Every structure is written in structure tokens, then in C-alpha cells.
């Protein structure tokens, strides 16, 4: 097991454009005119959702089961009381944004079905379970719900492997899906690589 991330991977596709941080996503969405409705899959304690809502004017659906999952090997995998506390923290963090923040206490799979009637979304940001087969399943279930000019975004585009923080199969999922769909990618190879890919 390695204790550090394999940053600046030479295997990042050549068409990756770098952003300084995922904190720039709100600006990118605004620049692209994607200011209506988005989804964050995997919300944890609402920190990144709060950032999006602070700097982007749309409505954000936040999907997380806040459920203890004993089979999930990750530093954030925890017991049910802690998950309940994470849910409460999220409600508190997003309360200032009123009905621009819509919480869905559900798995990615269930929520994708529930939210399908509201599609197409301007963007979906995937940051839930990083172990196989979840990243690819998440991409496949949410990509069809994004408008053709929208963004399919995510976090933790690391080389696949087992690290101190958990088990990752994000990169193979993103690369495989992009190869199959010929999508453009806009990514970040600084402190923690992320990928934003534009369907179609």
C-alpha cells in the first residue's frame, strides 16, 4: 500500500486542460452558460456543495445515502451514527442556500432513477465510491442525464490502486468511458488530479 497519490501521472490523456483547482468549477460553469440545475453525487458533509452554491447561481441536487457500508474500503467509510452526523452537518452547511440546495438521502443508483424526470442537467459532479465497479457505473448512469453541451465532472482521477485513503478505480473508468464515447476532457493535474469531461 502506498501512502501518497501518484500525482502528475504521465498517463493523463494529452487533451487534458489544466485548472488550478476544482474550486474553479463554478467559474467554468458560468463561462459555459451552465447555470441552471446540477447534481453532486457523493456529498459527505456538504463542503464542496457549499462552495458550488456560493459561487454558482443554479440549483444543486446533492445525492448521498449517508449510510454505513461495511464493504466500502475508504477513509470516509464509517459507522451509522457518524453518517447521521455527516447528514446533519450537510443540512447545516447548505441551509443558507435555501431551496437552491436539494438533498437526496439515497444511493447514486436510486437517485438517478428518481431525478431522471428533471433531466437534462447542466452538469453532474461524481465523487461517491471510488472503488470498482462504482465509478464506471456512476458515469454510465448519470452521463445520459446531462445535456449535450453540459459537463460530466468528477473528483480523484488518480491512477487505479490502493492507497492509505482507499481503493480507487476512477481513472480506468473515466479513460475507458472517454475512449468509448470520444468525449473531450478538461482536467486538473495539480495537487489532486480531477477530470471534467464534456459529453458528445
Ligand X SMILES: C[S@@+](CC[C@H](N)C(=O)[O-])C[C@H]1O[C@@H](n2cnc3c(N)ncnc32)[C@H](O)[C@@H]1O
Q: Does residue 65 interact with ligand X by CB under 6 A?
A: yes
Using CB under 6 A, which of 5, 56, 66, 87 touches ligand X? 66
**Cα–Cα dist 21/172, whole Å:** 22
**Residue span binding ligand X (CB under 6 A) among the ranges 42-50, 96-104, 175-183, 192-200:** 42-50
| CA 123 – CA 85 distance, rounded (Å) | 28
> Which residues in the 117-156 window bind ligand X by CB under 6 A?
127-129
Total residues at the site for ligand X (CB under 6 A)?
Answer: 17
**Cα–Cα distance, 191 to 183 (Å, whole number):** 24
Min separation Cβ 117 and ligand X, Å: 19
Residue 47's SS3 state is: helix
Does residue 44 touch ligand X according to CB under 6 A?
yes
48 part of the interface to ligand X, by CB under 6 A: yes
The residues facing 60 across adjacent strands are 38, 101
Residue 90 in the binding site for ligand X (CB under 6 A): no
Question: Which residue of 37, 41, 52, 112 would you call a contact of ligand X, by CB under 6 A?
Answer: 41
Q: Judged by CB under 6 A, does residue 56 bind ligand X?
A: no
The reply on whether position 37 binds ligand X by CB under 6 A is no
Is residue 157 near ligand X by the rule CB under 6 A?
Answer: no
For ligand X, which stretch binds (CB under 6 A), given 41-49, 91-99, 113-121, 190-198? 41-49
Please work out, in degrees rounded to the nearest 5, the angle formed at the alpha carbon of residue 53 by the alpha carbons of 148 and 39: 40
* Residue-wise DSSP of 76-87: T---HHHHHHHH
d(CA 62, CA 79): 21
| Residues 131, 73 contacting (CB under 8 angstroms) | yes
151: its cell numbers:
459537463
Instruction: Give contact residues for ligand X (rule: CB under 6 A).
Output: 40-44, 47-48, 63-66, 76, 107-108, 127-129
Amino acid at each position: 500500500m502506498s501512502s501518497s497519490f501518484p500525482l502528475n501521472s504521465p498517463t493523463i490523456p494529452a487533451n487534458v486542460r489544466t485548472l488550478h483547482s476544482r474550486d474553479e468549477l463554478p467559474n467554468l460553469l458560468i463561462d459555459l452558460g451552465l447555470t441552471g440545475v446540477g447534481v453532486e453525487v457523493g456529498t459527505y458533509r456538504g463542503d464542496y456543495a457549499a462552495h458550488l452554491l456560493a459561487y454558482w447561481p443554479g440549483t444543486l441536487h446533492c445525492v448521498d445515502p449517508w449510510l454505513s457500508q461495511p464493504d466500502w474500503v475508504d477513509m470516509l467509510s464509517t459507522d451509522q451514527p457518524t453518517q447521521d452526523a455527516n447528514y446533519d452537518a450537510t443540512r447545516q452547511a447548505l441551509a443558507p442556500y435555501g431551496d437552491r440546495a436539494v438533498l437526496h438521502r439515497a444511493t447514486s443508483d436510486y437517485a438517478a432513477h428518481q431525478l431522471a424526470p428533471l433531466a437534462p442537467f447542466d452538469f453532474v459532479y461524481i465523487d461517491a465510491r471510488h472503488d470498482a465497479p462504482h465509478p464506471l457505473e456512476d458515469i454510465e448512469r448519470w452521463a445520459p442525464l446531462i445535456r449535450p453541451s453540459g459537463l460530466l465532472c468528477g473528483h480523484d482521477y488518480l491512477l487505479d490502486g490502493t492507497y492509505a485513503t482507499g481503493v480507487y478505480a476512477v481513472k480506468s473508468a473515466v479513460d475507458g468511458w472517454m475512449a468509448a464515447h470520444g468525449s473531450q476532457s478538461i482536467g486538473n493535474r495539480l495537487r489532486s488530479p480531477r477530470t471534467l469531461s464534456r459529453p458528445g
